[in-house]
Amino acid sequence: MSFVFKQFKPMNRLPVGFTATTNIEKMKDFIIKFTNTAEKEVKSVAKLRAWLTGSFDIKKIDTEAIDELVELAEIAEDKSKIALIDLFRLLVLEENQAQYILSKHWELVQVCIIGYLSAQDLKDKEARVIQNYHLACLKFLANIFQTPTGKQLMQNEDYGKELIQFCTKSFMSCNQKVIYHAALVLFNHLLCYEKANKKSI
């Protein structure tokens, strides 16, 4: 039996993104409450709190506030962890913010997403919080490909391998939505991967 492989030519030529802001106020309130309870465990939440209670402009956040947000994400658990990564999902849609988050804080992906979820039992049907967090993380990863900076960053061979391995592990989840979104992240990566003989998107 012989196999004939054709060039990957998706009908959708743009990366899939998740831009919904339906529950953004609920997210903000949840994060404000978490900053109040967790401020003694981190260096500072002053810049982040000022932004949350001030403009709360998703398209404009200080780098200091992002630093504080990352530190909170590292200690957060359960629903707080979901709310924080969901906020990052929106922040990486803006070019300047994506550049800062992805270049300076790639450990957010390595530790808070890949490392954390790799240590979980993805087949546990009762672990609803983990499944919801997993889903939120995949939406964040999909949004990395929405900016030129994100697309360029993912040309890095090591980052690409980490992403592929994580998505492969995500296929072991008992949650069909998680599996579907892992496939979308891989689709984005394949769509945006550039070689000398492949035009950029």
> Does residue 43 form part of some domain?
yes
> Does residue 2 form part of some domain?
no
Alpha-carbon gap, residue 137 to 144, rounded angstroms:
11
Which amino acid type is present at position 19?
T
Look at residue 194 in the predicted model and tell me its pLDDT.
77
Look at residue 9 in the predicted model and tell me its pLDDT.
56
- Give the count of domains, the chain: 1
Handedness of CA 32, 38, 39, 45 (dihedral sign): negative
Look at residue 11 in the predicted model and tell me its pLDDT.
58
Range(s) of the domain holding residue 155: 24-192
CB neighbour burial string for 47-73, b if at least 16 within 10 angstroms, e if fewer: bbbebbeeeeeeeebeeebbbbbbbbb
Look at residue 13 in the predicted model and tell me its pLDDT.
76
Helix, strand or coil, per DSSP, at residue 60? coil
DSSP, residue by residue, 96-125: HHHHHHHHH-THIIIIIIIIHHHTS-TT-T
> Does residue 17 form part of some domain?
no
Q: What φ, ψ does residue 136 adopt, rounded to 5°?
A: -65, -40
Task: Return per-residue pLDDT of the chain as tens, 201 residues.
Answer: 455 545 445 556 789 999 999 999 999 999 999 999 999 999 999 999 999 999 999 999 999 999 999 999 999 999 999 999 999 999 999 999 999 999 999 999 999 999 999 999 999 999 999 999 999 999 999 999 999 999 999 999 999 999 999 999 999 999 999 999 999 999 999 999 875 445 554
> Does residue 10 form part of some domain?
no
> Does residue 11 form part of some domain?
no
CB 139 within 8 A of CB 148: no
> pTM above the 0.85 mark?
yes
Q: Residue holding tokens 């981190």?
A: 42
> Does residue 16 form part of some domain?
no
Cα dihedral 47, 147, 182, 168, rounded to 10, equals -100
Counting other chains too, the contacts that 104-110 makes at CB distance below 8 Å and 24 or more residues apart are: 105/66, 105/67, 105/70, 106/159, 108/70, 108/73, 109/141, 109/162, 110/162
- Return the CATH number at 138: 1.25.10
Express each pLDDT in 117-136 by its tens digit. 999 999 999 999 999 999 99
> Does residue 13 form part of some domain?
no
Q: Residue 142 class from Cβ within 10 Å (0-12 exposed, 13-18 middle, 19+ buried)?
A: buried
Alpha-carbon gap, residue 17 to 47, rounded angstroms:
28
CB 49 within 8 A of CB 35: yes
Express each pLDDT in 30-40 by its tens digit. 999 999 999 99
Provide the mean pLDDT of the chain: 92
